[in-house]
Structure 1
Amino acid sequence: MNYLSVDSISKSFGERVLFENVTFGIGQGQKVALVGVNGSGKTTLLKILAGVDVPDKGEVVVNNEVSIAYLEQQPEFETDHVIEAVLSGNKELAKLIEEYEYHLSKAESDPKSMERLTELMSKMDEADAWTFESQIKEILGKLGIEDLSQNISSMSGGQKKRVGLAKALMEKPDLVILDEPTNHLDLEAIEWLEKYLASSQMAIVMVTHDRYFLENVTNEIIELDNQQVYSYSGNYSYFLDKKAERETIAQSEKEKARNLYKTELEWIRRQPKARGTKAKYRIDAFEDTKKKAHVNLSKSEVNLDIEQRRQGGKVLELEHLNKSFGDKKLINDFSYTFKKGDRIGIIGHNGSGKSTFLKIITGKLAADSGKVDKGQSTVFGYYEQAEPNFKSGMKVIEVVQEVAEFISIGKEEVSASRLLTQFNFAPKAQYDYVDNLSGGEKRRLQLLKVLMGRPNFLILDEPTNDLDLITLRTLEEFLHQFQGCLVIVSHDRYFMDRLVQHLFVFEEGKAIKDFPGNYSVYRESKAVERKENKPDVIENKDKTEKVKDATRKLTYNEKREFEQLESEIEKLNEKIAEMEQLLISGETDHAKLISWGEELDKAKSDLDAKELRWLELSELN
């Protein structure tokens, strides 16, 4: 089933052409990643698909039976309430759940709330609101939003992004359009989202830089390159192989077109100018050949060949650092001596103190106690997580010239303009205003400013956010060769696996742990640890549950569930009998037999689960 068709669309901003005569379609079951360099128009194309923007020409046709949800990079909401934002399509239901949650929190101390709660339970039953409530709590909880009473206006940009993601998932659309869905999520949330989307029946179009995410979720890649789109049916690894093949073929075709262009140009020049009946088809073919011969196939890759300073014997020493905000202890008596060539990854939940730690070691924030002793030759390069705050009205080249007019690369002095060209800012783009840059282009410019200081101690706080895959691969190659100290905070598992040798693990309420190994090794060790502890956990849990079950009765919701289960079990038995009769009816249609068999298996599985739950509740009744 075709969900959406893109027919010959083009989009420009002034003289800058993003894409031209682009055509493709999205169908049922497709999980598509949109890739391309920063500024190629990925976000703009997503907005057009979502109906937020319109193309200059061409059209996007959406199947009338298809529902679409869209997550933009910086979502905005019409309400300040989390539940209402997530259920924006059903405001009455949202208000009912919000009121229920409010009185539930007050019921123990306020008799009026307890009285109102009884009324609301009846309304929740009628609206089948329990299902929505549990789904909202589960999704928001997995994404790191626990407090449903907080106002959206008081949230950080990352928290708002998570609320927006929950909203898109709760809509249960046929097609979901996601712009950088993994940005601002911690590693556990990303892994949950990855499994959720991979197993979902939704069609997906997304922009993401996370290579593991691309590999495990998508089954098709659409690349924006040279104002055109190229489709690859496969995951990210397949895309890399086929892209290389396509570029080799394109280069060969360009060479053929250039040779043909020279021949045809001579023929065109020999024709009398006034002769209007000469072979028009050959002139048209000449224009097409001219276009192919002059297509720009130069690689838009960033050059990070910038020298670092020499590093002395003493790098950085941390002694008994402590830091709290109110009652929340983030850093507890932490000591570490950095050595030459240290490559450290920092992981932990959002809000666990990772960015605070970086600010303390760079002197941007004072510790409550302890000592930070930096070596005399140590020069920090600090790439911060916050969006670059360039002065409005400045041109790109002026941003770089503020740091230096020239920089030494090897034995050569390189001008600011040439350095920008190496960072994939074309000469013309260097005189554009920074306000007009895309989020990824601003990030690339910020990275250039950091590296121009020729640091020997690089600190990168979420460096993969908003950078395109080509820039990321180049950055990885540079960091792989980097001889100084490297500290990385990142939710990009591939990036961490390739570059770090050990981890600082931040866990709330615990001391910072120094783990020997990269992220994948850490995850494996945690899985083994959980497996080893599981028997005791289950045994203790069983004992606890038995004590609880022996002393309590059914709650209101459990009574309601118990009554519903009896009806559901009866219907499932009827369904099983019906499917069994169909299977012995003599039907010869193979597809129907398979379908009935699958329905029978599912009904039996559901019956087993519901009968088990009925038995559990019957013991309390």
Structure 2
Amino acid sequence: MNFLSVENITKSLGLRVLFSNLTFGINQGQKVALVAKNGTGKTSLLKILAGKDSPDTGVVSVRKDIKIAFLDQEPDLPLDKTIFDAVYDAENPLLKTIMSYELALEHPDDAKKLQKAIDQMDALQAWDYEIRIKQILGELKIYDLHQEMGSLSGGQKKRVAMAMALVQNPDLLIMDEPTNHLDFDMIEWLEEYLESEKMTLLMVTHDRYFLDRVCNQIIELENGQIYSYSGNYSYFIEKKAERQATQAASIDKAKNLYTTELEWMRRMPKARGTKSKSRIDSFYDLEKVAKQRLEDKKVQLDIQMNRLGGKILELHHVRKSFGDKKMVDDFSYVFKRNERIGIVGVNGAGKSTFLKLITGELEVDGGKIVTGETVVFGYYNQDGMKLPEDKRVIEVVKDIAEFIPLTKGKSLTAAQLLERFLFSGDQQYTYVSKLSGGERRRLYLCTLLMKNPNFLILDEPTNDLDIMTLQVLEDFLEDFPGCLLIVSHDRYFMDRLTQHLFIFEGDGIITDFNGNYSDYRDYMLIKEAEKSRQKTENKVIEAPKQEILVVSTTAAKTKKMSFKEKQEFEQLEKEIAQLENRKAEITSIFENPSVNPDELQKLSAEMEQVVNSLEEKELRWLELSELAG
């Protein structure tokens, strides 16, 4: 069943044509990825398909009664609303019913209102849907639903926008860079969710593992044409190479034939006969093919690197806190030549703080950081990407240098350097304000490498870069002779470039793990499996004790409780009462909307301990109560 059809649509920004005469369709159940270079209009195309914009020409047809949800790359959220109001603000009757029920729960004294909400939930069979919504919010670490949107960070807004899209249970879900601002656990959860859900999906993402696992159809936009591949990303890479090889062979063949036909045309045949007219028409068709150019431009990165001395970077017992929250606690490390280190940890664990300590943006509370005299940092920082909006691209580069030194004594002009970063002559005179997100990041990377750094610190460098640019960046970094320190949620990028990881575990604890991200993930899965196996074995060991207790009940009744057991029995009653009270306290705190996520996380861990302790003590109390008779 066809959900969406695109016929001959064209879109321009001023004089710049983004795409022209595109035609394709999306069928029910397809999970489609759109792949294209930065600046070719991926985001504009998604907005047109989602009904947020319109094409200059052409038609987009959507099947009647199809519900579409759209996750924008930069969500435009109602800043005056709370998360609760925004998430449940949809025309879906199930969402409205669940919203009424959740509001009624906040006023349990109004029994009539609560009963009415429960009856509505029963009538629409909304209970499973409510559980699903809470699971989505929990996995995206959205806890305080009464927080105002205006107070949220960029990452929090993206997660709320994703929750808003997912809870609608749309027929067609359109997502622009869904993995940006998500930590590894969230990305892996979203992968599993999208893979298992029976939904129709269209998305743009640079995450190649995500593409491989979730998508079953790839649409490539290249040189103004659409190419479709039935399969995941790995299949697309293989078939694209075959297509390009076939296309190159066809062009070579056409060029050879074109030479022969050109000589015939120069003899100026009189196009009176049918055969002559046909041959002339064929000549012009052949000329179009023969003069085709396979656009395979790639970013070229070969900027000169400053010499790196013997002493690079040393951290000795470094400590940093903000109030009571420890970000780095007594961490020491000595960097060696050509180190490639990845940084992994949940949002808020101190990763960005750590990078700012290294670059001197923040001062340590204790310990010291020693930087070698020859070290030149290149810090690719999301917050630092403040390019002058009112300047042209070439002016931004010339402000740094007119000529840029390369390896082997060569140099480039500013214009030549921009050509290497895929900014054509016309684009070099485009204002920064007109660049796409990916083009801005490419320009920012260009200005960073112009300073010839020998120690690169990359904080989420993959966001919004197209896959083709990412591959070239990876090739460059693989051969980069300096040091690399990378924070990224792109697992493929981390796997290819890092040798070991700094794991930010929270509370200032940083662990050095020998291996890349996939090694670390495998290690954690084995560790979790071992913990689960140990828990199962403990239950098996306890099981016979419970059976013996049942069988020997009569014997136990005849046995008297010792003085020591009597004291233990009385103490258990007090401890169980205390644990029950604490459990009730934590439960009431959970219901308080003003509690921050970090506090909720600590309380969740404590609740698990309380419940486990209660189970153990109640079991022992039952054993002793049999003796008490």
Residues 307 and 454 in structure 1, CA contact (< 8 A), matched pair in contact too: yes
- The equivalent of 2:19 in structure 1 is 19
The answer to whether the aligner puts 1:255 opposite 2:252 as a matched pair is yes
Residues 322 and 333 in structure 1, CA contact (< 8 A), matched pair in contact too: yes
Alignment partner of 1:490 out of 475, 480, 488 = 488
CA distance change for structure 1 residues 25 and 95 in 2, over 3 Å: closer, same or farther? closer
- The equivalent of 2:84 in structure 1 is 83
Q: Deviations over 1:353-391 (max 9, x none)?
A: 111111111011222222111000011000012372211
Instruction: Give the paired residue count.
Output: 542
The answer to whether the aligner puts 1:121 opposite 2:114 as a matched pair is yes
CA distance change for structure 1 residues 124 and 283 in 2, over 3 Å: closer, same or farther? farther
Distance 2:170 2:96 in 1: 22
- The equivalent of 1:328 in structure 2 is 325
Instruction: Give ranges in structure 2 of 5+ residues lacking alignment.
Output: 547-575, 585-629
Offset, 1:479: 0.9
AA paired with 1:490?
A: S
**TM alignment of 1:555-570, pairs within 5 A:** none
Q: Deviations over 1:65-115 (max 9, x none)?
A: 42211111011123522122222214997688668767867xxxxxxx551
Q: Deviations over 1:379-412 (max 9, x none)?
A: 1000012372211210111111111111111210
- The equivalent of 1:580 in structure 2 is none
Give secondary structure in 2 for the equivalent of 1:503. Answer: strand
Give secondary structure in 2 for the equivalent of 1:322. Answer: strand
Distance 1:53 1:362 in 2: 42
AA paired with 1:522?
A: Y
Instruction: Give ranges in structure 1 of 5+ residues lacking alignment.
Output: 106-112, 556-621
**TM alignment of 1:604-619, pairs within 5 A:** none
CA distance change for structure 1 residues 277 and 92 in 2, over 3 Å: closer, same or farther? closer
Residues 108 and 114 in structure 2, CA contact (< 8 A), matched pair in contact too: no
Q: Deviations over 1:273-300 (max 9, x none)?
A: 9999997666654544343333331312
Alignment partner of 2:337 out of 328, 335, 340 = 340
AA paired with 2:117?
A: M
Give secondary structure in 1 for the equivalent of 2:458. Answer: strand
RMSD value, Cα: 3.0
Give secondary structure in 2 for the equivalent of 1:162. Answer: helix
Alignment partner of 2:314 out of 317, 324, 335 = 317
| Most deviating of 519-528 and 381-390 | 381-390
Q: Deviations over 1:462-513 (max 9, x none)?
A: 1110000011011111111111111000111111111111111112225111
AA paired with 2:522?
A: E
Distance 1:407 1:26 in 2: 47
Residues 17 and 227 in structure 1, CA contact (< 8 A), matched pair in contact too: no
Offset, 1:4: 0.9
Residues 10 and 21 in structure 1, CA contact (< 8 A), matched pair in contact too: yes
AA paired with 2:84?
A: I
The answer to whether the aligner puts 1:207 opposite 2:208 as a matched pair is no
Distance 1:387 1:103 in 2: 45
- The equivalent of 1:593 in structure 2 is none
Q: Deviations over 1:88-147 (max 9, x none)?
A: 214997688668767867xxxxxxx5514x445324313326545433321122122222
Alignment partner of 2:395 out of 393, 398, 402 = 398
Give secondary structure in 2 for the equivalent of 1:135. Answer: helix
Q: Deviations over 1:565-616 (max 9, x none)?
A: xxxxxxxxxxxxxxxxxxxxxxxxxxxxxxxxxxxxxxxxxxxxxxxxxxxx
**TM alignment of 1:49-448, pairs within 5 A:** 49-78=49-78, 80-90=81-91, 113-116=107-110, 118-128=111-121, 130-262=127-259, 285-386=282-383, 388-410=385-407, 411-448=409-446
CA distance change for structure 1 residues 5 and 114 in 2, over 3 Å: closer, same or farther? closer
Residues 96 and 120 in structure 1, CA contact (< 8 A), matched pair in contact too: no
Which protein has the larger Cα radius of gyration, Structure 1 or Structure 2? Answer: 2
- The equivalent of 2:504 in structure 1 is 506
Residues 207 and 492 in structure 2, CA contact (< 8 A), matched pair in contact too: yes
Distance 1:12 1:269 in 2: 39
Give secondary structure in 1 for the equivalent of 2:486. Answer: strand
| Most deviating of 77-86 and 95-104 | 95-104
CA distance change for structure 1 residues 140 and 225 in 2, over 3 Å: closer, same or farther? same
The answer to whether the aligner puts 1:534 opposite 2:528 as a matched pair is no
CA distance change for structure 1 residues 287 and 173 in 2, over 3 Å: closer, same or farther? farther
- The equivalent of 2:520 in structure 1 is 522
TM, length-normalised to structure 1: 0.81
- The equivalent of 2:37 in structure 1 is 37
Residues 314 and 371 in structure 2, CA contact (< 8 A), matched pair in contact too: yes
CA distance change for structure 1 residues 132 and 372 in 2, over 3 Å: closer, same or farther? same
Offset, 1:439: 0.3
- The equivalent of 2:573 in structure 1 is none
Q: Deviations over 1:10-60 (max 9, x none)?
A: 222233222222211111111111111111121111112112222222211
CA distance change for structure 1 residues 120 and 24 in 2, over 3 Å: closer, same or farther? same
Give secondary structure in 1 for the equivalent of 2:424. Answer: coil
CA distance change for structure 1 residues 98 and 373 in 2, over 3 Å: closer, same or farther? farther
Distance 2:340 2:285 in 1: 52
| Most deviating of 90-99 and 30-39 | 90-99
Residues 3 and 66 in structure 1, CA contact (< 8 A), matched pair in contact too: yes
Residues 395 and 432 in structure 1, CA contact (< 8 A), matched pair in contact too: yes
TM, length-normalised to structure 2: 0.80
Q: Deviations over 1:234-259 (max 9, x none)?
A: 11111111111111122222233344
Residues 9 and 58 in structure 2, CA contact (< 8 A), matched pair in contact too: yes
Give secondary structure in 2 for the equivalent of 1:53. Answer: coil
Give secondary structure in 2 for the equivalent of 1:336. Answer: strand
- The equivalent of 1:459 in structure 2 is 457
- The equivalent of 1:618 in structure 2 is none
Distance 1:394 1:26 in 2: 40
Give secondary structure in 1 for the equivalent of 2:329. Answer: strand
Give secondary structure in 1 for the equivalent of 2:383. Answer: coil
Distance 1:103 1:510 in 2: 41
Residues 344 and 504 in structure 1, CA contact (< 8 A), matched pair in contact too: yes
CA distance change for structure 1 residues 315 and 8 in 2, over 3 Å: closer, same or farther? same
